[in-house]
Amino acid sequence: LIGRFMFELPEEMGLIAIAVRQTQGKGRGGNVWLSPVGCALSTLYITIPLHSKLGQRIPFIQHLMSLAVVESVRSIPGYEDIDLRVKWPNDIYYSDLMKLGGVLVKSTITETTFYILLGFGFNVSNSNPTICINDLIAKFNKEEGTMLKPLTADCLIARTVTILERLIDIFQEQGPNGVLPRYYKYWVHSGKQVRLYNEEGPIAWIVGIDDCGYLQVHEEGKGVESVCPDGNSFDMLRNLIVPK
């Protein structure tokens, strides 16, 4: 629905659609996205100038969106140690154990502008089918003796969008180096070893993200190479990076 208005609005105007529940949620690669009540579910429309720093590195937009979701919780005083993290290229995780959210980006380009729909959803208060943010808060309270209050989807959506706007501004001023330290602070991959192609494939170590937003891996004897998110899948459960 929101896509119908993309080319009818002034470029400087954003738009957001918020759903209590989705009946036809979509994920990457045509996957179905589960959308129970208790999740923060939104699609945000933004425009990015093609010749800006972010416009020249547009894959970064999904990383900025994922980071904004994590920081929407972990930037609240007292909630800094809630173990919410980002997984390349577009997932939100509890530690490196369990997925509780994700990001889906669709874009259209003209001569001067990217028109972008940023879909994001993360589980705030529904304990099924995996875990939710308020479960993590309750767990933290029990372990640390704190009394942090549960959070609401509306609050976290608002915080996420506000933080994303700031991250985009920083990126446009400073490029990748302006945001990557914050991204690495919360990502799950530091120092992780993976197999390439299959479970018997060559061993590689995750190095970081390159200047275009692609994952960098170091394979023994071959140096560092970049992995494009559109052509590869990162299977956390088996520590595999495999071609799609």
- Domain harbouring 2, CATH code: 3.30.930.10
44 with 67, same domain? Answer: yes
Q: Specify burial of residue 83 (Cβ count, 10 A radius: 0-12, 13-18, 19+).
A: middle
121 with 222, same domain? Answer: no
| pLDDT for res 205 | 85
145 with 199, same domain? Answer: no
Q: Specify burial of residue 158 (Cβ count, 10 A radius: 0-12, 13-18, 19+).
A: middle
End position of a domain, from candidates 140, 163, 186: 186
174 with 200, same domain? Answer: no
**Could you give the percent of the chain with pLDDT greater than 90?**
44
| pLDDT for res 24 | 57
110 with 204, same domain? Answer: no
14 with 121, same domain? Answer: yes
213 with 118, same domain? Answer: no
| pLDDT for res 21 | 61
The tens digit of pLDDT for each residue in 14-68 reads 777 877 665 555 555 555 556 667 788 888 999 999 999 999 999 999 999 999 9
User: Using 50, 70 and 90 to split pLDDT, how confident is the model at 184?
Assistant: very high
Task: Assess whether pLDDT exceeds 90 at residue 239.
Answer: no
The tens digit of pLDDT for each residue in 192-222 reads 888 776 677 778 888 888 888 888 888 877 7
**Could you give the percent of the chain with pLDDT greater than 70?**
79
Phi and psi torsions of 172, nearest 5°: -65, -25
End position of a domain, from candidates 143, 159, 186: 186
Phi and psi torsions of 182, nearest 5°: -70, -40
pTM of the complete model: 0.85
199 with 124, same domain? Answer: no
Please tell me which residue, 230 or 126, carries the higher pLDDT value. Answer: 126
End position of a domain, from candidates 149, 171, 186: 186
139 with 57, same domain? Answer: yes
| pLDDT for res 237 | 47
159 with 238, same domain? Answer: no
When the pLDDT of each residue in the chain is averaged and rounded to a whole number, the result is 83
| pLDDT for res 191 | 75
- Tell me which H or E stretch contains 137: helix 133-144
Domain coverage including residue 204: 192-243
- The total of structural domains in the chain comes to 2
227 with 165, same domain? Answer: no
137 with 230, same domain? Answer: no
Task: Assess whether pLDDT exceeds 80 at residue 144.
Answer: yes
